[in-house]
Amino acid sequence: MSRPKNMIFYKTTAEVELMRESCRVVANAIAEVAKSLKPGTTTKQADKIAFEFIKDNKGVPSFLNYKGFPFTACISVNDAVVHGFPTNDVIKEGDVISVDIGVFKNGFHGDSAYTFAIGEVGDDVLKLLKVTKESLYKGVEKAHHGNRVGDIAYAIQEYTERKHGYGVVRELVGHGLGRALHEDPQVPNFGKRGTGPKLKDGMVIAIEPMINMGVKEVFYDDDGWTVRTKDRKPSAHYEHTVCVRKGKADILSTFESIEQAEKANENLNSSYL
């Protein structure tokens, strides 16, 4: 029997805590990857680090073999927006690298993403990363009981596209999360306030702005997975797993260990909130 459309699964307090644990493993896996990101290494080496760390922490990589995806992490470089394949290409000074990881543990998925700048990059790149990261939190601010998905979408689009002139990808969106990696509802990064499914206490969603320095249009690589910007300009991607609550959202994922690793790695450059 097929699952009914628009089936939203609300999580109990105990289930939310299990998801928080999955998200903790995700964060620490991304932090381990961050330590390896430096000129001369490869993203395939980084993927192996992520795989081993997740296994050592009694998790299962959510992305590995998901609909045929052959890696643990989506590692997207420069003009790759998301779903990038780890490769044997050497990381170079000035690269922009987003790392997206999911972990299945104790029956639930966690999902998060973070974008890193390698060494010296232009101020325009640092601004893109800063604005994209800030837009994530503007979306999170709207993820409370009584609002609608469109309120999250509008907040992200208003900040990135209307205020800063960046391109907001239309073809890819955030999503519900739980026992399945992708659940309802979809959570776009563009839209109108007061539209879309109503946000209710216990909903868990992944909010993930995917923001291009240039145009919003994208295309797929020949591998069928990697999404690139049409104008080949850099893109940034940040993601939190969030539980909708009354008054204020509960962020289940964390950037704390990632930011610590970023600061410790002299090859990484970022602009913090």
Output the DSSP codes for 74-137: EEEETTEEE-PPP-SPBP-TT-EEEEEEEEEETTEEEEEEEEEEESS--HHHHHHHHHHHHHHH
Show contacts of 154-162: CB within 8 Å, 24+ apart.
154/190, 154/191, 154/192, 154/193, 156/189, 156/190, 156/207, 156/209, 157/189, 157/190, 157/191, 159/131, 159/134, 159/135, 160/131, 160/132, 160/135, 160/189, 160/209, 160/211, 161/190, 161/216
pTM for the whole structure: 0.96
Which token pair is 133? 């990261």
Domains of the chain: 13-269 (3.90.230.10)
User: Tens-of-pLDDT digits for all 273 residues of the chain?
Assistant: 344 557 999 999 999 999 999 999 999 999 999 999 999 999 999 999 999 999 999 999 999 999 999 999 999 999 999 999 999 999 999 999 999 999 999 999 999 999 999 999 999 999 999 999 999 999 999 999 999 999 999 999 999 999 999 999 999 999 999 999 999 999 999 999 999 999 999 999 999 999 999 999 999 999 999 999 999 999 999 999 999 999 999 999 999 999 999 999 989 976 555
Distance in angstroms (rounded) separating the CA atoms of residues 107 and 50: 20
